[in-house]
Amino acid sequence: MTRLLLLVFVLTFSMVSAAKTPDFNKKDIVALKLILLSKNNNLWEKVVKLEREKPFTFDNPVWDEIRWWADVDGLVWKQIDDKIKLTAINWGEKGIVGHLKFDGFDNLSALSCYNNNLETLEVRNLINLEQLSCFGDSLASLTLQNLPALKELYCFSNQLDTLGVGKLAALQKLSCYKNQLKSLDCNQLSNLVHLDCSTNNLAVLEIAEAINLSYLDCSLNNLDTLKIKHLTHLTHLSCYSNKLTSLDVGKLTKLTYINCFFNSLSSLNIENLLNLTYLSCWGNRIPFAKLPRPDIKEYHYEFQRIFIQTRAGARLDLSDLYINNETTTYKYANVIHYLRPDGVFIVPAIIGRKGTLEIQMTNTAFPKFLENNLPLLLILSE
């Protein structure tokens, strides 16, 4: 009788224990197998633990063991309800070559496949994915579909010439710099707060309706317009080395940082930007009369590329480049001759038909011009 009771206890305990031991989510395993057994990449040899290596055949029962597949390198599993589910994949820096397609991982929140040699990447129907890192690959194509929870996308340093992010409604941070993008539409991304799309070939950047944007770097592109006047949360703006002729930041009072050097700006109004601590606007076309005079520690305005088309023998009046009653002085930088102190002179014949004349202008309100001894005015002949 005692033995019978003991046997019943052991069987009951075993059944309870078995009931409490969760199983791996089979949907995750099936989706994982599809990726690992794909002939479009070399993933198998890069992430499968080789100490368990055996020749693969579909009729070999060892390959049906779910726990073997679950032990693949770079996977993070977590018990959710009564199942063990895949919540993260980290396949960064694995030397993966070719094409990857992720589809059907319902509980995946983070996916990394950065610093590989991938040519194409498809990420579809990952309804809980919040972070995707695929930077530093060789991606020419990135497909993003049905990713309603995606908050962070890092796809910089690739070869993308298009990027469709318009339907990523939850996106907060986008880093897509160092690609080959010609246009980028972020108008539907009302939750976007950080955008770095620098070092592309952008001629069009649609961000006018990304109203919560606080950080923007669109430098080193081909932009001739930048519609940001309604982005009132903006604190950091970097748009240097573009083709901008105007920049409307007058009402962006939260701005603390502006870097807009080497554009074609003829004026810049920062009068109401009381929180500004950094401004770099050198290499534009802003004369002394329109140069900002902010009371900040870090201000770079040294070189302004003011172009005037003229001819030898013409009378040239530069007096309109004075600022208030501050003293401005002028001299040639590439010929031995001094202008009259009022800035009115006759263009010398030395300029030639295709020559240039560099004028050095200094003003007591802007001492850095004198300190750096830079030419400030280029006069182009007809």
DSSP for 334-358, please give it: SSS-B--TTSEEEPPGGGTTT-EEE
| Residue 235 shares a structural domain with residue 345 | no
Give the domain-ending residue among 71, 95, 120: 120
Whether residues 70 and 90 share a domain: the answer is: yes
pLDDT-based confidence at residue 361 (cuts at 50, 70, 90): confident
Q: Tell me, yes or no, whether 213 and 321 share the same domain.
A: no
Degrees, nearest 5: CA angle 282-284-288: 80
Question: Does residue 59 lie within any of the structural domains?
Answer: yes
The total number of structural domains in the chain stands at 3
Check whether 236 has a pLDDT greater than 80: yes
Among the three residues 266, 301, 336, which one is the final residue of a domain in this structure?
A: 301
Please check whether residue 14 lies inside any domain of the structure: no
Average pLDDT, the chain: 84
Beta strand 117-124 with 131-133 is unpaired
Return the residue matching tokens 């004198």: 370
**pLDDT for 381:** 54
Report the CATH number that the domain containing residue 277 is assigned in CATH: 3.80.10.10
Give yes or no: residues 327 and 272 share one domain.
no
5: alpha, beta or left, given left = phi > 0 and alpha = psi -120 to 50? Answer: alpha
Question: Which tokens in the block code for residue 276?
Answer: 């500004």
Cβ atoms of 5 and 61 within 8 Å: the answer is: no
Instruction: Determine the length of the chain.
Output: 382
Do both 183 and 294 map to the same domain? yes
Q: Which DSSP string do the residues of 122-191 spell out, in sequence order?
A: EEE--TT--EEE-TTS--SEEEEES-TT--EEE--SS--S----TT-TT--EEE--SS--SEEE-TT-TT
Report the pLDDT value the prediction gives residue 310, as an integer from 0 to 100.
76
Between CA 103 and CA 35 the distance in angstroms is 9
243 and 329 housed in the same domain: no
Q: What per-residue confidence (pLDDT) applies to 305?
A: 80
Is residue 30 situated within a structural domain? Answer: yes
Q: How far apart are CA 261 and CA 274, in angstroms?
A: 20
Single residue among 103, 120, 137 that ends a domain in this structure:
120
- Domain-located, residue 280: yes
Same structural domain, 272 and 354: no
Tokens at residue 41, please? 């990449």
**Could you give the CA distance from residue 46 to residue 27 in angstroms, rounded to a whole number?**
23
- Whether residue 278 sits in one domain with residue 320: no
Do 44 and 105 belong together in one domain?
Answer: yes
Residue 371 belongs to a domain: yes
Residue 254 covered by a domain: yes
Phi, psi of 75 (to 5 degrees): -100, 145
What does the alpha-carbon distance between residue 213 and residue 103 come to, in Å, rounded to a whole number? 30
- Domain span at 337: 307-381
Question: Same domain, yes or no, for 253 and 320?
Answer: no
CA–CA separation, 220 and 263 (whole Å):
10
Nearest alpha-carbon partner for 244 in 292, 301, 203, 196: 203
Is residue 165 included in any domain, yes or no? no
Q: Which residues contact 90 (CB under 8 A, 6 or more apart)?
A: 74, 75, 76, 110, 112
- The pLDDT value recorded for residue 86 is 94
Whether 162 is in a domain gets the answer no
Confidence band of 343 (pLDDT split at 50, 70, 90): confident
Same domain, 200 and 293: yes
pLDDT higher than 90, residue 341 = no
Indicate whether 102 pLDDT > 70. Answer: yes
User: pLDDT tens-digit profile of 259-278?
Assistant: 999 999 999 999 999 999 99
If asked whether residues 276 and 185 sit together in one domain, one would say yes
